[in-house]
Structure 1
């Protein structure tokens, strides 16, 4: 059946926030396709998730060349979903992709921030997705072996060619962010957005990065606001549920389920309950409490899970007392989120 999106999708259910000093707004919650949309996943489930997100005002879909598994398969699936459902609505969408992690054999396939790798990666991503351009193209990682001038120069080249309307970086330090922005500015290309890891269990960007982005006029989209599922009811019982990320051993380490983490998660869950929210909803709302956060980037495995997360926008306000209570438990702890492998994070 031909997909007809909900006519009420822009009737106020999803707030939009301006990206830095740009003319673009993003939905307060964006959908990331890091997991559950690849070649090993159920195709129609991914399709249903994209449809539901768009029906609820989510206009930003975030991908990367390495998402799958296998790597590249998420972009291939997305290309099919675009052709089947979203082609008439391309101008309503912000589609992003990234490059920098391993993708193909040989010295140019990554991990790399070289001009060769980034340009080739963008071309491959466009072919997989059947697009003429991406709205945002990111340097997915810092490459210490490539001069920053080369990495930013490659992004500026893609921008000039119209293959990337906006340029972003992910997981760069404040110092490197400032240097990247200066190099891009010399190329007359703004640093549009930064995508860092940010959640109640990982607050490191509050120590310099957020103020740096604010000073630069650069947006910030936070990935993993649910700390890879830790900030949900899933793990509160101290037992990792079947087929969770911890039990699958993919992106979340089993050691993350430490008693310290679980104790703090249980306390946060009680605060959320008093607010009339699920823990996931409060975690997303908390990430968005800072106006310097443009959007929270979430994943989803089911439509019900997606709906629960999107309902976070129904209650974004916090009292000073609630924030003080949350601060007792929302701290960096045993949160080595990433289990780095060829299937990439963020």
Structure 2
């Protein structure tokens, strides 16, 4: 049966402007990092994206190396896009990235113009798209002049292969330098994608201030700490969980499921219940409480996890007492 989206999909989702650009993103975005590879059931992938779009999530976030194996997520997305979303292309924000190793030899990694241009061409072929909405440099490359990497992003926008450009995992100083170069070229950076969660607060050490100064939006990844900030692991590691199936294969970082983090998660879960939220909802809401945040990327292995995350949009206000309690738990 052909897919007919929920006609009320835009009525409850919150949309936020990305910095000082004209681009708006849903407060919740869906990332296709780990659950859209060759080993994942296409029917489940389809259900996740349909559930997301029906809830007003218009942004699907990919990268050249998402899978596993690398490239597989973009290929999976291509099949779903062709069947379900092609008619809605102008309602979607589709992003991809390049910066990690993708093919052998000196041109398949890093930040050179050669790599960034070739990688986007490959991504577009895999996804069956003429352009992406956002193209990110996935990580800084100290071996390549920043002017070259940013010049490549500018050129790809001018070629019509990307509408906007962004950065991921750049430090505050690197971000300011990159933004200045892009601004001078006439292709401003519109968004930055850092790791940010209750357990990883590094962006508070200068990055969020830099983005506000530069007029750049911020979209967080790993805000659920790869599942640690959900109720999934509060009583141990389930046999059917991603951690059990893929620990050590990039699915969840070694050390995330340590006793200290689990103890913190249990205390945070008590506060979440008092707020009338799941732990995952509170973790997402905590990131969204900052007006400098544009969106939170969530990964999902089941459609219900998307629905649960969307529930965070209804309450991302925290009292001073709640914030103090969170800081005490995490201290």
The question of 1:181 aligning with 2:179 is answered yes
SS at match of 1:234: coil
Return the alpha-carbon distance in structure 2 between the equivalents of residues 29 and 266 of structure 1. 24
Instruction: Report 1:102-113 matches (<5 A).
Output: 102-110=101-109, 112-113=110-111
Instruction: Report 1:1-346 matches (<5 A).
Output: 1-11=1-11, 13-110=12-109, 112-237=110-235, 239-247=236-244, 248-249=246-247, 250-251=249-250, 252-330=252-330
Q: Could you tell me which residue of structure 2 aligns to residue 338 of structure 1?
A: none
SS at match of 2:296: strand
**Deviations along 1:219-278, whole A, 9 cap, x unmatched?**
0000011011000111111x2122434322133234322222111111101100101111
- CA offset at residue 54 of structure 1? 0.2
- CA offset at residue 324 of structure 1? 1.1
- CA offset at residue 16 of structure 1? 0.5
Maintained 8 Å contact 1:153/1:184: yes
**Deviations along 1:15-57, whole A, 9 cap, x unmatched?**
0001000111100000000011111110111011111100000
For normalisation by structure 1, the TM-score amounts to 0.93
For normalisation by structure 2, the TM-score amounts to 0.97
- 1:126/1:182 Cα in 2 relative to 1: closer, same or farther (>3 Å)? same
In structure 1, stretches of 5+ residues that fail to align are: 332-346
Return the alpha-carbon distance in structure 1 between the equivalents of residues 167 and 130 of structure 2. 21
Aligned residues: 328
**Deviations along 1:87-118, whole A, 9 cap, x unmatched?**
110000000000011111222111x1111000
Return the alpha-carbon distance in structure 2 between the equivalents of residues 21 and 97 of structure 1. 21
- CA offset at residue 294 of structure 1? 0.3
SS at match of 2:226: coil
Return the alpha-carbon distance in structure 2 between the equivalents of residues 95 and 278 of structure 1. 28
Return the alpha-carbon distance in structure 2 between the equivalents of residues 62 and 153 of structure 1. 23
Q: Could you tell me which residue of structure 2 aligns to residue 335 of structure 1?
A: none
Deviates more, 1:243-252 or 1:39-48: 243-252
In structure 2, stretches of 5+ residues that fail to align are: none
Maintained 8 Å contact 1:126/1:133: yes
Maintained 8 Å contact 1:228/1:245: no
Return the alpha-carbon distance in structure 1 between the equivalents of residues 281 and 28 of structure 2. 11
Return the alpha-carbon distance in structure 2 between the equivalents of residues 182 and 63 of structure 1. 26
Maintained 8 Å contact 1:40/1:70: no
